[in-house]
Structure 1
Amino acid sequence: MTLEEKQAQLVGFWVDQGDEVVAPLSGEKRSSTRYEEASAHGIGHLTRVYGTRPVDPVERAAWLWGEQRRLQRETRLGIPAIVHEECLTGLAAWKAATFPTPLAWGAAFDPDLVEQVGRAVGASMRALGVHQGLAPVLDVIRDPRWGRVDECIAEDPLVVGTVGTAYVRGLQSEGVHATLKHFVGYSASRAGRNHAPVSAGRREVEDVLLPPFEMAVREGGARSVMNSYSDIDGVPLAADPTYLTGVLRDRWGFDGVVVSDYFSVDFLRSMQRIAADKADAARLAITAGIDVELPSPDAYPTLASQVREGVLPESVLDAAVRRVLAQKEELGLLDADFGEPPSAIDLDPPEHRAIARRLAERSVVLLGNDGILPLDPRSPVKVAVVGPNADSAEALMGCYSFVNHVLAHHPGVPSGIDLPTVLDAVRAELPLAELAHVRGCEVEGDDASGIPAAVDAAASADVTIVVVGDRAGLFGRGTVGEGNDVDTLELPGLQRRLVEDVVATGTPTVLVLLTGRPYAIDWALPPRRGAEGTIVGLGAVNAPAPVDAPAAERDIRRPAAVLQSFFPGEEGAPAIAAVLSGAVAPSGRLPVSLPRSAGAQPYSYLHAPLGGRTDVTSADPTPARPFGFGLSYTTFAHEDLTVAPEVSAGDRIRASVTVRNTGGREGTDVVQLYAHDEVASVTRPVAQLIAFERVALAPGEATVVDIDVPVERLAFTGLDGVKRVEPGRIRLWVGGACDDEETVASVDIV
């Protein structure tokens, strides 16, 4: 290969970008290179062929097949291009199924179902000639003020790693390479600001931020990784060989391809100011370990000349090219026959919608219920459905859904898929109800003129369903999403006022939250306290009030019930309606702590003893609801946690616990096993999730759940910087949330 041919394999090209801003800073004029010029010697990637604008999939496939044939015919080496697309909530293309956002994956605590999502998405991508998907996001949530929280899975690295790895397996089982992002530390930025510096210490990086990536590489076999935009302690990840080579390749044995996040190579020059020019930026990035520059040629077109000038060793260029060619060989591209493109394709088939429906149903979290739920679908009641998200399909979708990411730039273009709203779904679920719909207010803004009409509708109803929350978008377009970071965790706009005014009518009110982050809604929730008045775990407050409780006994200062749904996707509205009616029992659990205030951030349930509520400070970071919390329409008891008294450091913890459905309805519990290292050489979290499992039980049914956990899950980075398991006593417990020690045992690591 000539130097130009090698260089060509290390860049992508955004053929169809045009003037649309669908990625960070893509509106800036970055490169004058024409596609014909860039691909004269071949090309590494074609960027977002389907996902840049609403193009008919069959027509676009015909173009793509023809372009791949041209590359085979008209370039000397005849190497086709890798085609990559976004696939965070499904293939981000017109008419393709939109699944729940990753934060909903975490809420479902169901890796097997997420693997099915990955397989479904991968099948659609492969049918369209797409080879690489830019997902999953394995950033551990550290601050809910960060705009990209809806793209993340959880604040717990085990949940992130387990669920994210399941998605990797599903996607790659269909012959599409998954891309892990954003490696590493992106979510730990100061004050939750996008692209902001990261000040994480070595122990936080090693023990919290890296494990999900390691799991996806070692256990999931992920074939691609994308760098973080941020810097850690002053070193941008795009130029840091410590992580891109030392950790990823040398320590973990990763032999796949590292691609740059869009424009991040040139950001070394234009934003982070550690490179003098594009050539300098390219040299730093490829030396650190970034093989391919995306989305288009920007800095890497300087590589060939740098080799000729003796500035860059050709061996560095060759190493990256070998990895790209190995990936193309693995994908079958080097021997591909681009004969007939698909003549028809359904990107939203019934089986995909069925998977989306199940995941949406299992991700709904019931945060509070005084007995008003479930609603009786056979009752001819008057129902007021109010709120800015009640009749909005966009409110069901995440930032990287095609609807919010691309179609927002094409007003008037239909979504191409069936997208019922919550109002539509409630109308279908409660056929005998008399429905009134009033918007009340917008998601953003200070126009209160519609609130009186909403109050009147609520006052005339038997029950009110008020649907509020977020509108996902990018860089100031919306309330959550990439670049939409916040300094408050109050509901946007006048939505809290709308809810409080509706509740004040005395009509029992069900609050439904459609959001991409957790909000500070403690004002909407009943106190989580026991008989002594102290804050307790779920076990003491799980039972709802009697369904027939008289209105006089209701607390009219708060909604009668609160449902949290994190952007549940195309089938989200029917899923929510099914939970409201009781056709589906809620089984979701909080994958992220529900904050009490923005001032307590950043907060994680994985805090050390002095990171929680203490007597030495008047500030209280205790969340309104803890990680792992979630109610159902029945109750569960966890009893008789047993474990062998001793286990060796290289062995496995084998525990068992009895789970009993103590209520009158069928339901699904999420069994959560937590651990705490009672005495360690460094401070350890007061609670650490080490295992979880969904268990469905009939009324009165009990089962023994066996849990098998490798002791290494309790390893941490010691004083010498080495990760190891230390001897000592570990307290274990199972309960309804991280702070609910319902049944307790201990084991000594020897």
Structure 2
Amino acid sequence: MKYTIIFFLSLLTIGLSAQKKNMLYKDASLSIEERVEDLLPRLSLEEKVAQMRIFHANIGVESDKKGRLKLSDRVIEKLKLGIAGIKNPGEHISPLAAAKLNNELQKYIIENNRWGIPALFVTESYNGVDAEGCTKFGRPITSAASFNPELVNRIWDVVGIEARLRGMHMCHSPEADIVRDPRFGRMSEAFGEDTYLTTQMVVNAIKGVQGDYTGLGAGTHIGAVAKHFAGYGQVLGGSNFAAVEISPRTLIDDIYPPFEAAVKEARTLGIMASHGDLNGVASHGNPELLTGVLRDQWGFDGYVVSDSNDIARLYYFMKVAESPEAAALLGLVAGIDIDLYAEDSYAYLPEMVKKDPSIEKMIDRSVRRVLRTKMILGLFDNPYVDIKKVEKTVRSKASLALAQEADLESIILLKNEANTLPLKKEKQQIALLGPILNETTKAAFESVVGDQVTFVAAQGFELTDQNKGVPKLLPTGPEQLNKLVDIAKASDAVVLFLGGDEFTSKEAYFNNALGDRATIEPVGAQDELLTKIKALGKPVIVVLKHRRTLSINTISEQADAILDAWDLSELGDTSLAKIIFGEVSPSGKSPVTVPRSIGQLPFHYSMKEINNKKGYLFLEDGPLYPFGYGLSYGTFEYKNLKISDSTITPTSEITVSVDVSNTGKMKAKEVVQLYVKDNIGSVTRPDKELKGFEKIELAPGESKTVSFTINPKMLEFTGLTMEKILETGDYTVMVGTSSQEGVTGKFRLEK
């Protein structure tokens, strides 16, 4: 008996050794598919499910006082079977410390699961990499105002490089959502209201962060997860987690294109599902959306991840599942591969398979996608960060210079009465005032202007108590306002920093956090402050900083000049000073329509023409500022619009060209915009649609001919039968400086 036991133990040892020896999935010379198919059958059911879950590092991944990896018992238990990924490890420490920590963490994970499967470390990007010590860029909607996709590509290239050097591998960004409701607190995370502009920005962001895809396996960049699929930005009332009511035609023509381009053109590695629903079907349980559209129609072969806890919420929040297990099955059937955070969803899958073994085939499908992603990222072959490169590369001089370049191209000049701007660098006192003023603003202005101008600075009051969950507005008394007025009275000109901040517009988390608003006027005593200072008769320049579109009627009426800055980089105030004092001409264009009143919502430039028939009692018609609007220190003349042919067919193209001249006295950039209007359609059509743009720079007196190609694909829309069609008819084309101003021509589509 003793020898029999020894014999069987020997056989077992030989078997395990042979299995280890023949680990083809570790052979980098094989194809990714071969490696995945070798590894998958080796995994136990529990190990497979572990590859379908992500947890947050805040449950116990940290460094001790000596910078060494420290894991909680909860994390140690989770990592025994391996894991799909971990969100935000090392986010609150320096890039170098994070790189060291994540190397240790990855080593621990590889050495403590049977097959040495590495984990995905996941970040986000709203102002660059959302982690300590990385280059802080402007938010996505800010860079959208640049109307410069190549610039956005370079920004996200830096994001991809800096994230990978921290030890990160995936990014739950960019947002491909269309945002058209300024009540929505997450507005600034996306690229604006327009489908075409958003598509160009999303494609370039993904190509940038992924290193044009080749940077993934090379270990220089990270994978993108485009989100939130689909329609998330259309929540009713602009309220996070609310229902989405959107027509199928609008969904296909307006909402889908940035996601489709993310898949087909940019080759995004991941997609995140939307919190919301479509036509009453919760997105996290929608196989028509996550499999039918995303995979069968578009050919997506990456992984789909849930938004935070949203598979479980199919049961306890959306109430479309009878139990937590039923919710898990809904998500799995729909096509969600990774469960983000939940302990009451995919954790149930092993027990569910015992009752219904057919479920395992769907689990295998998802695990293949996760393992494939890790292979694409090269994690099985090179899972660690090269520490020597971190400090040389992260937040380099070149990256900071790029952040400022982006600021300078994104700041929008909304008003410049009597050429108030630029200010002169001459002996005078300028007051920098207002609740959005930073502590470093004065120093930033002095660094640009030197000692020729005297600056005095005072914030005066704060807007909120800065509570991260539910901030409250702070009262502002006469003494606070009068102090600012007195400073203004003693100055030659005033720069007022108004708008909103990270507390007046933010994500409304599921529990105990608000971020959406029921009104869109500037909060607090900002209008009152402006009115009092305007009464002094001094030039008043308003710098508008904000994360949602604001209805700025008082500011628009009373300010002599307005610079719309949205949310700039860490060098934003230096950039503002350069523009205010004329070193650079502003060239940003509004990525949104600015309404006069919240009562005009929904309100975007490309709404159906029939929406423009009637206005409102006691309110001036039209927007306060239209989409695509932005002034310059140069002046631009558009003339000689030419269309290469009066007709276009389903197999031909036409060219539209226009001469643009800088008739001003300063070198400046202009965004030349192409809009197309379908004059008659079988379904009601948008008033006009952006179909192209080009940013050019002209010296005083210089002219340039700008040309656009119109092809049949640009004229397709969803017809009566819900199929994409080309329809015979007349079109109007406009090329100009905004969605409301330009030169026009006509052509006809013939079949």
Give TM-score scaled by structure 2 length: 0.87
Shift of 1:620: 6.0
Structure 2 residue 65 is the aligned partner of structure 1 residue 35: no
Judged with a 3 Å threshold, the aligned counterparts in structure 2 of structure 1 residues 483 and 719 are, in CA distance, closer, same or farther, namely farther
Mapped contact 2:240–2:508 kept (Cα < 8 A): no
Count of matched residue pairs: 677
Structure 2 residue 699 is the aligned partner of structure 1 residue 719: no
For residues 515-537 of structure 1, the C-alpha deviation after alignment (integer angstroms, 9 at most, x for no partner) is: 111211133325xxxxxxxxxxx
In structure 1, the gaps of 5 or more residues are: 21-31, 393-420, 527-557
Match of 2:37 in 1: none
Mapped contact 2:241–2:275 kept (Cα < 8 A): yes
Match of 1:683 in 2: 684
Shift of 1:458: 1.3
Match of 2:105 in 1: 67
Given candidates 337, 362, 369, the residue that maps to 2:409 is 362
1:638 is paired with a residue of what secondary structure?
strand
Given candidates 366, 384, 398, the residue that maps to 2:431 is 384
Shift of 1:472: 0.8
**How many angstroms apart in 1 are the aligned matches of 2:425 and 2:696?**
29
Shift of 1:378: 2.7
1:114 is paired with a residue of what secondary structure?
helix
**How many angstroms apart in 1 are the aligned matches of 2:152 and 2:506?**
30
Match of 2:598 in 1: 598
Judged with a 3 Å threshold, the aligned counterparts in structure 2 of structure 1 residues 223 and 483 are, in CA distance, closer, same or farther, namely farther
Shift of 1:71: 2.5
Larger Rg: 2
Match of 1:48 in 2: 88
Mapped contact 2:185–2:506 kept (Cα < 8 A): no
Match of 1:401 in 2: none
Match of 1:519 in 2: 550
Shift of 1:647: 1.0
Output the amino acid matched with 1:143: D
Output the amino acid matched with 1:35: V
Shift of 1:483: 4.2
Match of 1:402 in 2: none
Shift of 1:89: 1.8
**How many angstroms apart in 1 are the aligned matches of 2:358 and 2:528?**
61
**How many angstroms apart in 1 are the aligned matches of 2:384 and 2:637?**
58
**How many angstroms apart in 2 are the aligned matches of 1:647 and 1:344?**
53
Judged with a 3 Å threshold, the aligned counterparts in structure 2 of structure 1 residues 210 and 506 are, in CA distance, closer, same or farther, namely same
Mapped contact 2:527–2:554 kept (Cα < 8 A): no
**How many angstroms apart in 2 are the aligned matches of 1:251 and 1:607?**
27
For residues 536-588 of structure 1, the C-alpha deviation after alignment (integer angstroms, 9 at most, x for no partner) is: xxxxxxxxxxxxxxxxxxxxxx1110110110111211111111011010000
Mapped contact 2:638–2:742 kept (Cα < 8 A): no
Mapped contact 1:145–1:192 kept (Cα < 8 A): yes
Given candidates 422, 440, 459, the residue that maps to 1:439 is 459
Structure 2 residue 245 is the aligned partner of structure 1 residue 225: no
Match of 1:626 in 2: 626
CA RMSD of the aligned region, Å?
Answer: 2.3
**How many angstroms apart in 1 are the aligned matches of 2:137 and 2:521?**
27
**How many angstroms apart in 2 are the aligned matches of 1:483 and 1:691?**
37
Structure 2 residue 427 is the aligned partner of structure 1 residue 428: no
Mapped contact 1:653–1:711 kept (Cα < 8 A): no
Please show how residues 135-214 of structure 1 align to structure 2 within 5 Å. 135-173=173-211, 174-175=215-216, 176-214=222-260
**How many angstroms apart in 1 are the aligned matches of 2:167 and 2:743?**
51
Judged with a 3 Å threshold, the aligned counterparts in structure 2 of structure 1 residues 716 and 518 are, in CA distance, closer, same or farther, namely same
Match of 2:669 in 1: 668
2:402 is paired with a residue of what secondary structure?
helix
For residues 377-422 of structure 1, the C-alpha deviation after alignment (integer angstroms, 9 at most, x for no partner) is: 4311111111011225xxxxxxxxxxxxxxxxxxxxxxxxxxxx43
Output the amino acid matched with 1:66: E
Shift of 1:745: 3.6
Match of 1:252 in 2: 298
**How many angstroms apart in 1 are the aligned matches of 2:718 and 2:618?**
31
1:75 is paired with a residue of what secondary structure?
coil
**How many angstroms apart in 1 are the aligned matches of 2:195 and 2:73?**
41
**How many angstroms apart in 1 are the aligned matches of 2:572 and 2:736?**
28
**How many angstroms apart in 2 are the aligned matches of 1:631 and 1:572?**
19
Shift of 1:498: 1.1
Match of 1:635 in 2: 635
2:628 is paired with a residue of what secondary structure?
coil
Mapped contact 2:231–2:274 kept (Cα < 8 A): yes
Please show how residues 388-427 of structure 1 align to structure 2 within 5 Å. 388-392=435-439, 421-427=440-446
**How many angstroms apart in 2 are the aligned matches of 1:337 and 1:14?**
20
Mapped contact 2:82–2:117 kept (Cα < 8 A): yes
Structure 2 residue 694 is the aligned partner of structure 1 residue 693: yes
Shift of 1:371: 3.3
Mapped contact 1:488–1:598 kept (Cα < 8 A): yes
Given candidates 470, 495, 499, the residue that maps to 1:469 is 499
**How many angstroms apart in 1 are the aligned matches of 2:390 and 2:416?**
47
Given candidates 345, 353, 365, the residue that maps to 2:400 is 353
Give TM-score scaled by structure 1 length: 0.87
Mapped contact 1:730–1:749 kept (Cα < 8 A): no
Please show how residues 204-603 of structure 1 align to structure 2 within 5 Å. 204-295=250-341, 297-310=343-356, 313-336=359-382, 338=384, 341-342=387-388, 344-345=390-391, 346-392=393-439, 421-431=440-450, 432-444=452-464, 445-448=474-477, 449-473=479-503, 483-525=514-556, 558-603=558-603
Mapped contact 1:626–1:737 kept (Cα < 8 A): yes
Mapped contact 2:647–2:750 kept (Cα < 8 A): yes
Output the amino acid matched with 2:395: D
In structure 2, the gaps of 5 or more residues are: 1-42, 63-71, 217-221, 465-473
Shift of 1:338: 3.9
Mapped contact 2:540–2:559 kept (Cα < 8 A): yes
Mapped contact 1:360–1:569 kept (Cα < 8 A): yes
Higher relative contact order (CA 8 A, sep 6+): 1
Shift of 1:334: 2.1
Given candidates 109, 117, 128, the residue that maps to 2:166 is 128
1:695 is paired with a residue of what secondary structure?
strand
Mapped contact 1:128–1:342 kept (Cα < 8 A): no
Mapped contact 1:388–1:443 kept (Cα < 8 A): yes
Judged with a 3 Å threshold, the aligned counterparts in structure 2 of structure 1 residues 654 and 663 are, in CA distance, closer, same or farther, namely same
For residues 225-258 of structure 1, the C-alpha deviation after alignment (integer angstroms, 9 at most, x for no partner) is: 0011011222111111111111100100000111
Structure 2 residue 134 is the aligned partner of structure 1 residue 115: no
Judged with a 3 Å threshold, the aligned counterparts in structure 2 of structure 1 residues 626 and 376 are, in CA distance, closer, same or farther, namely closer
Mapped contact 2:615–2:621 kept (Cα < 8 A): no
Judged with a 3 Å threshold, the aligned counterparts in structure 2 of structure 1 residues 610 and 618 are, in CA distance, closer, same or farther, namely farther
Output the amino acid matched with 1:371: A
For residues 110-169 of structure 1, the C-alpha deviation after alignment (integer angstroms, 9 at most, x for no partner) is: 000000011111111112221101111111112111111111111100000001110100
1:61 is paired with a residue of what secondary structure?
helix
**How many angstroms apart in 1 are the aligned matches of 2:373 and 2:309?**
22
For residues 463-516 of structure 1, the C-alpha deviation after alignment (integer angstroms, 9 at most, x for no partner) is: 10000111114997999x984111111101111111111111111100110111
**How many angstroms apart in 2 are the aligned matches of 1:474 and 1:523?**
19
**How many angstroms apart in 1 are the aligned matches of 2:589 and 2:266?**
25
Mapped contact 1:613–1:620 kept (Cα < 8 A): no
Mapped contact 1:108–1:589 kept (Cα < 8 A): yes
Match of 2:30 in 1: none
2:684 is paired with a residue of what secondary structure?
coil
2:115 is paired with a residue of what secondary structure?
coil
Structure 2 residue 741 is the aligned partner of structure 1 residue 710: no
Match of 1:10 in 2: 52
Judged with a 3 Å threshold, the aligned counterparts in structure 2 of structure 1 residues 312 and 516 are, in CA distance, closer, same or farther, namely farther
Shift of 1:184: 0.5
Output the amino acid matched with 1:506: G
Shift of 1:621: 6.0
Aligned sequence identity (%):
32
1:42 is paired with a residue of what secondary structure?
coil
**How many angstroms apart in 1 are the aligned matches of 2:678 and 2:77?**
60
